[in-house]
Structure 1
Amino acid sequence: MRTVVIYKSKTGFTKKYAQWIAEELSADIFDISKVTINMVTAYDIIIYGGSLYAVGINGVGLITKNIDKLKDKKIVVFATGASPPRDSVISEVKGKNFTLDQQKYIKFFYLRGGFNYSKLNTFDKFLMTLLKWKIKNKKKEELTTDEIGMLAVYDKPVDFTRKKNIDEIITYVNSIMEKS
């Protein structure tokens, strides 16, 4: 089965996972800026990865807006974020990015990425600075675990990517290939 990995990466964490996945599956790999939906429909298995941005998956519209053209394909979407994987985070991301109907066709995975303020563009740096100020103005006892973690890594890059994090995706895709 022809497999493609497509990704959109702002700071490199999603790209790293996409490269590992493509390597493990001997799949073609493209940055989202290099693909059209007509190219994508030539594949049997489509894996899309994007970083989280206010719970939205960057670039996932390529998949969601074209779901009717992709329903006969096997679709995997993974998102990367700095937060540890938790069921509540995963449910929120799925609910915000995919309708219940789309979820029937899309297998979703969350992979922990990282945070690197210096790699953000000017607009994203501005938004992150506003968020930092908002969090810093909260009372200490009101801070969530994620907010405490964000403040701790704000000024120093952190990378939580690990190749073993792709194991579930590789196992899932390999099981699809074995069935065909």
Structure 2
Amino acid sequence: MKTVVIYKSKTGFTKRYSEWIAEELSADIFEASKVTLNIIKNYDTVIYGGSLYAVDINGVKFITENINKLKDKKIVVFATGASPSREEVINEVRNKNFTKEQQKYIRFFYLRGGFNYNKLNPFDKFLMTLLKWKLKKKKELTSDERGMLASYNNPVDFTKKKNIDEIITYVNS
């Protein structure tokens, strides 16, 4: 089976996971901006990785808008984010990004990445600064919100190679 890994990464966490997955599966790897449907038609398995932007998966429309042309392939999508992996978060991301019909063809995984404010582009820094101000105004913060505030000054990296094990197992099944 020929496998391709496609990714869109803003701060490097998704890229790191994509490289590990491609290495484990001896797959080809492409940055999303360099991929066309013509390229991926030659693969049996398509793996797409994108970082979370609120609950939207960065760049996943490439997969969802072309789902009818990909149905004959094994399709895996993974998202990376700084939040701990919790079932309710995973379900929210899955249901926000994929219709029930698309979910029949796409196997979704969440991989905990990290957060590095310094690596964001100016627009994303602006949005994250707004979020920071909003969080600071709250009377009570959740543990996730406290962690988010702390990570503005101290970047966090939760990537671990073992986090890809479920994807590797699924693709090889």
Alignment of structure 1 residues 30-41 onto 2, 5 Å: 30-41=30-41
User: In the aligned structure 1, how far is the partner of 2:147 from the partner of 2:128?
Assistant: 14
What are the Cα deviations for residues 92-113 of structure 1, in whole angstroms up to 9, with x where unaligned? Answer: 0001000000000000000000
Q: Does 1:164 align with 2:162?
A: yes
1:61 corresponds in structure 2 to: 61
User: In the aligned structure 1, how far is the partner of 2:105 from the partner of 2:25?
Assistant: 20
What are the Cα deviations for residues 130-149 of structure 1, in whole angstroms up to 9, with x where unaligned? Answer: 0000000010x3x2222111
For structure 1, which segment, 112-121 or 37-46, has the greater mean C-alpha deviation from structure 2 after superposition?
A: 37-46
Q: Does 1:145 align with 2:138?
A: no
Amino acid at match of 2:63: I
Segments of 4+ in structure 1 off by > 3 A? none
Other structure's SS at 1:152 match: helix
User: In the aligned structure 1, how far is the partner of 2:71 from the partner of 2:95?
Assistant: 19
TM-score in terms of structure 1 length:
0.95
1:112 corresponds in structure 2 to: 112
RMSD: 0.6
Q: How many residues align?
A: 173
What are the Cα deviations for residues 18-42 of structure 1, in whole angstroms up to 9, with x where unaligned? Answer: 0000000000000001111121122
User: In the aligned structure 1, how far is the partner of 2:97 from the partner of 2:41?
Assistant: 21
Amino acid at match of 2:157: D
For structure 1, which segment, 31-40 or 123-132, has the greater mean C-alpha deviation from structure 2 after superposition?
A: 31-40
User: In the aligned structure 2, how far is the partner of 1:171 from the partner of 1:6?
Assistant: 18
Other structure's SS at 1:155 match: coil
Alignment of structure 1 residues 85-124 onto 2, 5 Å: 85-124=85-124
Amino acid at match of 1:150: M
User: In the aligned structure 1, how far is the partner of 2:38 from the partner of 2:90?
Assistant: 30
For structure 1, which segment, 81-90 or 151-160, has the greater mean C-alpha deviation from structure 2 after superposition?
A: 151-160
